[in-house]
């Protein structure tokens, strides 16, 4: 069968790389002869990073921003009127006889921080796929909640009832989808990223003691949009965090970027962490190291296993560490982090709201050997749950999935 993966801008986001790699693993486990195409805005870079995946990589094409539909949409928005417009070219879905179109990206089907923006363009693309004989599946997703905007919630629900299915990657999304009457449309499974480089793990005997000697720290400029901090205040607070950790533990801190866009924009972890690193006083900077830009998901995992503890704002940085059995604290700026922690750890003990990070009791809450053993026992089951997403292909045309 033929599959199209679409929905992300490129694998400069290591989490997106993990989703693509994990999706390929799952699809090939289900269908060894699968013909998989991946649409991206960064085809040259992604071909280099995914050269070992056996994918056809195409350029994701949008209608011109100066086209009449998009100009009319912007004008209407100025008047407070919403005109949804499909950005992806129709030919992306129809020029090849895809059996399935998988909407990847993890948390695209969510509200913006101001509770106004939602994935209307991608929803129209999904509807177009279904109308033209392509099964559109929301794949490995965290969905909603949209309850803060009832009008949007109604539109999203109607759309999700029209598509061929949803694989939910964590319990909070499943509970939300059940609450709005979509239980028969979904299959709960783990994030595709849990299947990537599963052989790279931290050995049980590699902990020298109860105190971490090397801490991986991932901080994201994107999180500042959710916490309401500006970049200057964010850097100041995170500088205090670094100082607190270095005072609390006789350790080295490894700053870990997990999103490194080519334009070094506002979502660039590396630029943000480099700014943080350069702002540290020399007495602290000598105990801090910044990983280079562009390592990718798997090479970053080989760095994470050298650490005793990972503290991560990016969801897929946390997954990268947890799958390697590295004790991990998730810094939460949205509900998906607590949902993921509950799914893996069975509790929220190792979740810290990002705005309260300076008050989190790392010393009291962290138990390295306990967390490591818990992850070593739990992750193989989570990986199997990720592969269970293949069951959704046994149902076609939007049938109920309860029998899968």
- What gap in Å lies between CA 141 and CA 14, rounded to an integer? 16
For position 183, what pLDDT does the model report?
86
pLDDT band of 36, cuts 50, 70, 90: very high
In the predicted structure, residue 225 carries a pLDDT above the cut 80: no
pLDDT at 400: 42
Residues paired with 125 in a beta bridge:
none
pLDDT of residue 383: 96
Which tokens is 224 given? 């500042």
Mean pLDDT of 324-329: 96
Q: Which residue has the higher pLDDT, 143 or 273?
A: 273
Least confident among 41-50, 95-104, 111-120, 283-292: 111-120
Quick one: pLDDT at residue 401?
A: 42
Q: How far is CA 24 from CA 32, 39, 49, 76, in A?
A: 10, 14, 14, 40
Q: Stretch 134-140: mean pLDDT, rounded? A: 93
Q: Residue 220: pLDDT above 80?
A: yes
Task: List, for residues 372-388, the tens digit of each pLDDT value.
Answer: 999 999 999 999 999 99
pTM, entire model? 0.89
Residue-level pLDDT at 78: 72
Fold that domain 2-196+384-394 belongs to in CATH? Rossmann fold (3.40.50)
Please, are residues 27 and 3 in contact by the beta-carbon 8 Å criterion?
A: yes
Predicted pLDDT at 206: 65
**204-378 topology per CATH:** Rossmann fold (3.40.50)
Question: Would you state the pLDDT for residue 403?
Answer: 33
Could you tell me the pLDDT band of residue 285, with boundaries at 50, 70 and 90? very high
> Confidence class of residue 227 from pLDDT cuts 50, 70 and 90?
low
Residue 27 CA to residue 37 CA, distance in Å, equals 12
SS3 354: helix
Q: In what order do the strands lie in the sheet with 214-218?
A: 288-290, 252-255, 214-218, 309-312, 328-332, 351-353
**Residue 289: pLDDT over 60:** yes
pLDDT at 393: 84
For the cut 60, the answer to whether the pLDDT of residue 314 exceeds it is yes
Q: How confident is the model at residue 129 (pLDDT cuts 50, 70, 90)?
A: very high
Q: Does 398 score more than 60 pLDDT?
A: no
DSSP conformation class of 191: -
User: Residue 321 carries which DSSP code?
Assistant: H
In tens, the pLDDT along 169-218 reads: 888 888 999 999 988 888 999 999 999 999 999 886 666 567 899 999 99
Q: SS3 for 52?
A: coil
Do domains 2-196+384-394 and 204-378 share one topology? The answer is: yes
Residue 281 pLDDT class (50, 70, 90 cuts): very high
Reply yes or no on whether the pLDDT at 121 is more than 50: yes
Enumerate the β-bridge partners of residue 36: 3
Residue 118, pLDDT score: 86
Q: What mean pLDDT do residues 99-127 have?
A: 86
Q: How many angstroms separate the CA atoms of 395 and 402, rounded?
A: 10
Contacts of range 226-229, beta carbons closer than 8 Å, 24 or more positions apart: 226/113, 226/333, 226/334, 226/354, 227/333, 227/354, 227/355, 229/355
- pLDDT level of residue 161 (50, 70, 90 thresholds): very high
Q: What share of the chain in percent tops pLDDT 70?
A: 88
pLDDT band for 402, please (50, 70, 90 cuts). very low
Question: Where do the structural domains in the chain lie, given as residue ranges?
Answer: 2-196+384-394, 204-378
> Which residues sit opposite 101 in a β-bridge?
4, 136
Q: What is the pLDDT of residues 50-89, one digit of tens each?
A: 999 999 999 887 766 666 566 666 666 676 667 676 667 7
**pLDDT of residue 290 exceeding 50:** yes
Mean pLDDT, rounded, of the chain? 87
């Amino acid at each position: 069968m033929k599959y199209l993966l679409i929905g992300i801008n490129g694998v400069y986001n290591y989490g997106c790389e993990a989703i693509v790699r994990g999706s390929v693993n799952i699809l090939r486990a289900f269908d060894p002869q699968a013909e998989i195409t991946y649409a991206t805005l960064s085809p040259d870079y992604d071909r280099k990073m995914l050269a070992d995946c056996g994918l056809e990589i195409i350029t994701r094409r949008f209608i011109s921003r100066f086209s009449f539909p998009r100009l009319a949409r912007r004008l209407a928005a100025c008047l407070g009127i919403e005109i949804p417009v499909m950005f992806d070219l129709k030919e992306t879905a129809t020029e090849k006889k895809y059996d399935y179109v998988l909407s990847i990206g993890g948390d695209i089907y969510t509200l913006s921080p101001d509770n106004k923006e939602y994935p209307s363009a991608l929803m129209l693309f999904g509807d177009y796929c279904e109308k033209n004989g392509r099964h559109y599946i929301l794949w490995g997703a965290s969905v909603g909640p949209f309850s803060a905007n009832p009008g949007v919630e109604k539109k999203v629900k109607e759309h999700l009832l029209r598509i061929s299915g949803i694989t939910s990657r964590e319990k909070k999304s499943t509970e939300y989808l059940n609450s709005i009457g979509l239980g028969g449309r979904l299959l709960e499974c783990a994030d595709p990223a849990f299947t990537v480089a599963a052989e790279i793990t931290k050995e049980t005997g590699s902990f020298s003691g109860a105190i971490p000697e090397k801490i991986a720290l991932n901080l994201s400029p994107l999180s500042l949009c959710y916490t309401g901090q500006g970049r200057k205040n964010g850097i100041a607070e995170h500088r205090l965090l670094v100082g607190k950790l270095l005072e609390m533990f006789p350790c080295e801190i490894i700053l870990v970027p997990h999103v490194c866009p080519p334009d070094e924009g506002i979502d660039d972890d590396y630029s943000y962490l480099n700014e943080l690193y350069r702002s540290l006083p020399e007495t602290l900077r000598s105990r801090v190291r910044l990983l280079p830009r562009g390592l990718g998901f798997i090479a970053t995992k080989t760095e994470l296993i050298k650490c005793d503890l990972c503290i991560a704002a990016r969801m897929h940085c946390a997954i990268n560490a947890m799958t390697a059995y590295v004790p991990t604290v998730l810094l939460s700026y949205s509900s998906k982090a607590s949902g993921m922690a509950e799914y893996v750890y069975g509790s929220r003990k190792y979740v810290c709201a990002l705005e309260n990070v300076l008050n989190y009791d790392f010393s009291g809450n962290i138990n390295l050997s306990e967390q490591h053993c818990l992850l070593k026992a739990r992750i193989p089951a989570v990986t199997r749950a990720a592969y269970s997403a293949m069951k959704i292909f046994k149902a076609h045309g939007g049938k109920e999935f309860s029998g899968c």
